[in-house]
Amino acid sequence: MKVDALVIATGEGSLPLATGTIDVLGYSPGLVSSPFEALPTFLHANPEHPYRIAGIDGVEHALAWLAETAESLGYQGGLVRNRWVPTVLGGLRPTSMLPRSMVSADLHANAHAEIVVAGIRGYRDFHPALLAANLSLATPPSGGRTIRARATEVEWPGNSSDLVPFRLARRLEEAAVRREIANRIRPSLGGATAVAMPALLGRERWDEVHRDLEGRLERDVFEVPGLPPSLPGLRLSDCLRRALRRAGGRLLLGSSAVSATRVDGEVRSVTVTQAARHTEVKAGFVILATGGFAAGGIARDRDGTLREPLLGLPVHGPQVGAEPTSPRFLGSQPLDRAGVRTDPTGRPLDTAGEPWARNLYAAGAVLAGAVPWREKSGEGVALATAWAVTGAILGGAQ
Amino acid sequence: MPDALDCELLVIGGGSTGAGVAWDAALRGLQVILVDRSDLATGTTGRFHGLLHSGARYVVRDPAGARDCARENAVLRRVAAPALEDTGGLFVTTPLDDVEYSNHFLAACPAAEVPVEEIPPAEALRREPRLNPAIRRAFSVRDASVDSWKLVWACAGGARELGARILPYHPVLALLRDGSRVTGARLRDLRGDRELEVRAECVVNAGGAWGGRIAGLAGLHVGVRPGKGVMVAVNHRLAGAVVNRCHLTGDGDIVVPSHSVSIIGTTDTAVEDPDDVEPTAAEVAAMLDAGDALLPGLSRARALRVWGGARPLLPRAEGPGIDHRAISRSHSVIRHSQVDGMAGLVTIVGGKLTTFRLMAEDTVDAVCQELGTDRRCATAETPIPVDGPHGHHRLSHRAEAFEHRLERSDGTDPLVCECEMVPRSELLAAARTHPGSDLDDLRRLLRIGMGPCQGGFCTFRTAAILHEAGLLDATRAVSVLLSFVEERWKGQRSVLWGQQLRQSHLDEWIFQGSLDLEHLPETSAPQSTRAQEPLPNGRDPLGRPLGTATAQDDRIASPPGPEPEP
């Protein structure tokens, strides 16, 4: 069914801040080996979690949709087992799907006899020595031998001031730069079977960069994502936008939804501001995908009031007077679960517990009940809830 | 049998008072050991708003205290110029303040020797456009902004140059006694994991708000009443000068420009435990609202961080119901030989950072009496060796230093902390001259993690760079990273709203979502306070010989500071 879809977006969204991996469930709170097996128990223990909107089938469908839609990025994996991929600190992080540039980062099954961690001197967000040292201390949760990792750092060919991610990624798309980098890494390779590199291996032509480096080094090469901005996240963002355009959808970038008109229990239109103009956008259905606190989809005032700034939906979370946080950063933070509550189909609820509007749905981090960075569920929640509410809309419209 | 050290004077407490005493005594030729339970300047000294008083705040209520401030303000401008930013100060009568008070205020200034000049409100608004446009009177005074860390390190560093030993992370376990005489102290060396005895001819209790506990170790009573004060740092400098409300002192009536932020202070409530100073959300809210009277809109500014400090107040009369703000801010030197029959111990309490030099002078005078020696104080004429360019500190110094570095470097000295413009070379230089430092120690030296992102980006980089340079092993790199993240969190918990909440959640995504900090093997292991042993092969973790790969790092001078463990 052909649907005329319009995406109103203020900016790039959170993908360029994220790792580019697809996390579904890594901790529940214990380590999760198989999200497929763990999800039913997890949902039972967390009945308010947004995954309940999608159900395990919805999560599976959403991942399949992503693999197909972002085929050019070569995502592999799924719900059956988690992958264990190194962080820039050298820990192992569980995730469900990896883009091709990270597939060999899965250290699940004694994948590599030895890994060389290759950094670029002067690039501030990748430190091979610490990564390798911690990786050598880590044990894959599936058992198997300790990981052997060594660090090396090479000079950047050319002007080494201002080594920022976008510039490095663009320069690595030049064959001459790659040749030089590979030549400088090669003497450190020894018996290593894989090379870990900062996630800077190109933006548009990442596949060529990745394959070329693997060829030149005659080893598996994988990217390790770290601090924002993230090239793997940006590539996924680029890819999904292209998919939207291909499917005939429109993206209004640099715009903001500022209010909505609701008549007889239905959202009739959304007011959008762009370039200092207000425009009324009429819509049959509206999906609220404005994000959590970090994105501004949920806000907290100084007096402790929680707000959903666009529509004024009630926000479920620690109320005024309740203790919103733990004294420990790594403790349990009630505020982190704050968000919009919905009915089982993903429609936000008003204070009486009824859908705020018949045709309003919500997806992603705006939803209450998840701590995505702790659970390692960010992309999974975004994709699965988006899949579910889209399905509800298409089903309902038929 | 613990190790033992001997000295003439043992100073307990490495805040501004103790460091000032060590500097003063060392200048008088005494052999000094200065100890603190933590790093220097981590108690009250490191937890205030950074105001060097002109004295104007006290002219009506406490003219003698005001005069001390005015005199010491002038002295410190001479001997500690680089630790001060000469912001100047304004006292303004807002619509909430009684104009009658401003008459008393202006009349009281000359007697207290406090320089003051009334300026038209329009002139005050020209200087500080964010001031409340409804102010009725304005007075220009000689307030300044002081970097208390720089000041304390300079005193300690100067004392060390003169032979003093500076021992941070050495809490006192007991005072040594010989009958009715205090003869030293038994210490715990936290980083060396051992005990240590210091024998001294005289001991100074410069514990400040903790001074009652120190005196208690000798069975003595000193009635220190810790007064909790809450401060909030907001993004940007909302005013270039210190701005004060011209009234009889209250909460949230001072805003001090400090480096790249503004600090609003403060509150004053009695607490039993000087370590129990965590601000409440209500205190923070009340103070920000009060700040709107001075700088309208301050309550909507982006609050970065909040903290509390404990004033070392000594009430003249004890008992419940005393008005904390009415307790004099002037200091008291107690010779216990005179009041308790306990020789060899001098306690200094009360006072404030502005008068720390005078407090030290009075204390060391009493020490000399205890020791039966007559030595003249020299601190009013001797410059304290404060690190930094000549003259007063200016906000632009860091940017100038950075540009200078860019011009002469090949560009391979990246910024580790963008908020505070701290380059890699400066981080390494400071870490090398302060072995065993954790990230919070380095924060006080360099200001890393003090800007809007509160360590979201620089914490990982800092830990990794220290590890790379062979200064921390991987396990300790993770443990210092963790403890720094936890420490930064404490100051953010009470300001989680608006933009700073967004920032804080981005930090959660980074630390937990991307770095999975909570599941590193070290995360749940006990955190060691031990400094790392040197790597056995003399090479750093990248296999380079230690100390050769980073020759350019050493071109940057590091601030002087406490010496490593003996």
Closest to B523 measured CA to CA, from A48, A28, A90:
A90
Report the alpha-carbon distance of residue A165 to residue A201 in Å, rounded. 9
> Which of A210, A226, A242 lies at the terminal end of a domain, its last residue?
A226
Phi and psi for A38 in degrees, rounded to 5?
-85, -25
Which DSSP state fits A155?
A: P
- Selecting from B285, B508, B542 the residue whose C-beta is nearest the C-beta of A151 gives B542
- The pLDDT of B157-180, averaged and rounded, is 97
Residue A52 CB partners (closer than 8 Å, separation 6+): A43, A344
Which DSSP state fits B509?
A: I
Which amino acid does the sequence have at A101? S
Phi and psi for B425 in degrees, rounded to 5?
-60, -40
Report the alpha-carbon distance of residue A36 to residue A59 in Å, rounded. 9
Residue B548 CB partners (closer than 8 Å, separation 6+): none
Is some CB atom of chain B closer than 8 A to the CB atom of A161? Answer: yes
Are both A177 and A44 inside the same structural domain?
no
What residues of A are in contact with residue B485 (Cβ under 8 Å)? Answer: 329-330
Are both A184 and A308 inside the same structural domain?
no
Closest to B265 measured CA to CA, from B246, B226, B291, B304:
B291
Report the alpha-carbon distance of residue B186 to residue B169 in Å, rounded. 13
Are both A238 and A378 inside the same structural domain?
yes
User: Mind telling me how many Å the CA of B302 is from chain A's nearest CA?
Assistant: 11
- Considering only residues 533 to 562 of chain B, which have any Cβ-Cβ distance to chain A shorter than 8 Å? 540-543
- The pLDDT of B168-175, averaged and rounded, is 97
Angle at A164 between CA A159 and CA A166, to 5 degrees: 105
Q: Indicate yes or no: CB of A378 within 8 angstroms of CB of B513.
A: yes
Angle at A224 between CA A253 and CA A200, to 5 degrees: 55
Are both A254 and A372 inside the same structural domain?
yes
> Which of A177, A201, A226 lies at the terminal end of a domain, its last residue?
A226
Are both A145 and A265 inside the same structural domain?
no
Of 3.40.50.10490, 3.30.9.10, 3.30.43.10, 1.10.260.40, the CATH number of B83-145+225-308 is 3.30.9.10
Is some CB atom of chain A closer than 8 A to the CB atom of B319? Answer: no
Report the alpha-carbon distance of residue A275 to residue B426 in Å, rounded. 43
- The pLDDT of B333-353, averaged and rounded, is 96
Are both A26 and A146 inside the same structural domain?
no
Q: How many domains does chain A have?
A: 2
Are both A322 and A249 inside the same structural domain?
yes
- Selecting from B490, B516, B541 the residue whose C-beta is nearest the C-beta of A133 gives B541
Task: Give the bridge partners for B474, in sequence order.
Answer: none
Q: Give B32-88 pLDDT, tens digit per residue.
A: 999 999 999 999 999 999 999 999 999 999 999 999 999 999 999 999 999 999 999
Select the more confidently predicted residue: B545 or A105: A105
Q: Indicate yes or no: CB of A293 within 8 angstroms of CB of B505.
A: yes
pLDDT grade, residue B317 (50/70/90)?
Answer: low
Phi and psi for B282 in degrees, rounded to 5?
-65, -40
- In the predicted structure, residue B561 carries a pLDDT above the cut 70: no
Q: Is B526 helix (H, G, I), strand (E, B) or coil?
A: coil
Residue B120 contacts residue B138 (beta carbons within 8 Å): yes
Are both A166 and A190 inside the same structural domain?
yes
Report the alpha-carbon distance of residue A198 to residue A207 in Å, rounded. 15
Is some CB atom of chain A closer than 8 A to the CB atom of B510? Answer: yes
Classify B3-44+149-224+329-371 by CATH class: alpha beta
Q: Indicate yes or no: CB of B474 within 8 angstroms of CB of A159.
A: no
Which DSSP state fits B279?
A: P
Report the alpha-carbon distance of residue B361 to residue B377 in Å, rounded. 6
Closest to A380 measured CA to CA, from A71, A11, A54, A33:
A54
Q: What is the mean pLDDT of chain B?
A: 89
Are both A68 and A90 inside the same structural domain?
no
Is some CB atom of chain B closer than 8 A to the CB atom of A190? Answer: no
- In the predicted structure, residue B565 carries a pLDDT above the cut 70: no
> Which of A178, A198, A226 lies at the terminal end of a domain, its last residue?
A226
The ipTM of this complex is: 0.95
Residues lower than pLDDT 50 in chain A: 398
Say what angle helices B424-433 and B439-446 make with each other, to 10 degrees.
120
Phi and psi for B31 in degrees, rounded to 5?
-85, 120
Interface test mutation site (partner B, options A89, A120, A164, A307, max chain B beta carbons within 10 A): A89
Predicted pLDDT of residue B389: 82
Residue A324 lies in a domain: yes
Unique residue bearing structure tokens 């500076």: B166
Predicted pLDDT of residue A144: 67
Domain regions of chain B by residue span: 3-44+149-224+329-371, 83-145+225-308, 397-555
Q: Indicate yes or no: CB of A129 within 8 angstroms of CB of B411.
A: no
- In the predicted structure, residue B404 carries a pLDDT above the cut 90: no
Is some CB atom of chain A closer than 8 A to the CB atom of B97? Answer: no
Task: Give the bridge partners for B90, in sequence order.
Answer: B140, B243
- Give the burial class of B297: count Cβ atoms within 10 A of its Cβ; 0-12 exposed, 13-18 middle, 19 or more buried: exposed
- The pLDDT of B158-163, averaged and rounded, is 98
User: Mind telling me how many Å the CA of B519 is from chain A's nearest CA?
Assistant: 7
Q: Which two tokens stand for residue B185?
A: 């102290």
- Domain residues for the domain of A142 are 81-226
- Selecting from B413, B467, B496 the residue whose C-beta is nearest the C-beta of A300 gives B496
What residues of A are in contact with residue B413 (Cβ under 8 Å)? Answer: 122
Residue A351: which CATH number? 3.50.50.60
- The pLDDT of B407-424, averaged and rounded, is 83
Q: Indicate yes or no: CB of A124 within 8 angstroms of CB of B486.
A: no
- The pLDDT of B486-500, averaged and rounded, is 91
Q: How many CB atoms lie within 10 A of CB B81?
A: 19
Is some CB atom of chain B closer than 8 A to the CB atom of A64? Answer: no
**What distances in angstroms separate CA B306 from CA B122, B228, B284, B303, B491, one per listed residue?**
33, 13, 8, 8, 5
Are both A289 and A388 inside the same structural domain?
yes
Share of chain B above pLDDT 90, in %: 75
Query: Which pTM was predicted?
Result: 0.89
Residue A69 CB partners (closer than 8 Å, separation 6+): A239, A240, A243
Report the alpha-carbon distance of residue B120 to residue B127 in Å, rounded. 11
Residue A1 lies in a domain: no
